[in-house]
Amino acid sequence: MSQIAGILRVPGAELYHEIRGHGPLVVLVGAPMDARSFTPLAELLATDHTVLTTDPRGINRSPVDDPDQDSTPEMRADDLARLIEHADAGPAVVLGSSGGAVSVLALAQARPDLVTTVIAHEPPLSDLLPDADRIRAQGEEVIATHFAGDPVGAMRKFLVMAGIHLPEPVFQQFFAQEPSPQDRADADFQYAHMYRPTTRWTPDFDVLRTRPVVVGIGAESAGQLCERTSEALAKELGIEPVRFPGDHTGFAGDPVAFAARLRDFL
């Protein structure tokens, strides 16, 4: 299967991206997750689609000119627009997960000409919730703990805030090991410059109601923060959310089942 990796120069950043396959364009995007998380799903879809994945600005292989500048949903939406135009195979079905879901909502607002369907999978728009102040305070505690030199403690607090419960052996396996320098740098950038602009973003509901938006929720995300934020968004848009296999990262946990569900929208 053909795969092309490249760098696209955009205002303030260089965007690492990968293009696989041939056919109608599908874009898979996360934040702070990079392209690696979407590789299995991309491979499955590339049998009959052109699939674009990318590292968001400031993360892993997409360096920014100013490391002290925030990464806003509007900036990341502009990045996606430039990548779609660069791929020259659009308009696209665009799936964004977590912070990437916020990026694609901003893309839908700004550039409807580039998208046929936008699937926002579990966007963490906590300011839509009635207890937004409490969640903001918890988020600030997570950030402070991280920058106090306790990234493991910060992750524990983050999972509590998110309503995600992991068995201790699983937590130890994924979050208690010494991170690589790049993973540490990505976490620093996320907490310093991506987390607040993403979770506090306010959609333009009047505009989004006119766009082809699907709100996705993991079938195993019951009771989690991003189920609540996704349901709140869907309610504001006047649509029913769609269940996808797995949890917040179902696209990585069971890419075969996730791909089968995603094909309903391709």
Query: What is the amino acid identity at position 114?
Result: L
Structural tokens at position 143:
């950030």
Structural tokens at position 263:
């094909």
At residue 86, the pLDDT reads 97
Cis peptide bond prior to 67, omega within 30° of 0: no
The CA-based angle 4-254-39, given to 5 degrees, is: 10
At residue 1, the pLDDT reads 63
Distances (CA, A) of 238 to 7, 22, 202, 231, 235: 38, 35, 16, 10, 5
For 28, the 3-state DSSP assignment is: strand
**Residue 263 CA from chain centroid, whole number:** 19
From the list 95, 104, 129, 106, the residue with the least C-alpha distance to 259 is 95
pTM of the model: 0.97
Query: What is the amino acid identity at position 259?
Result: A
> What is the full per-residue pLDDT of the chain (266 aa) written as tens digits?
678 999 999 999 999 999 999 999 999 999 999 999 999 999 999 999 999 999 999 999 999 999 999 999 999 999 999 999 999 998 999 999 999 999 999 999 999 999 999 999 999 999 999 999 999 999 999 999 999 999 999 999 999 999 999 999 999 998 999 999 999 999 999 999 999 999 999 999 999 999 999 999 999 999 999 999 999 999 999 999 999 999 999 999 999 999 999 999 99
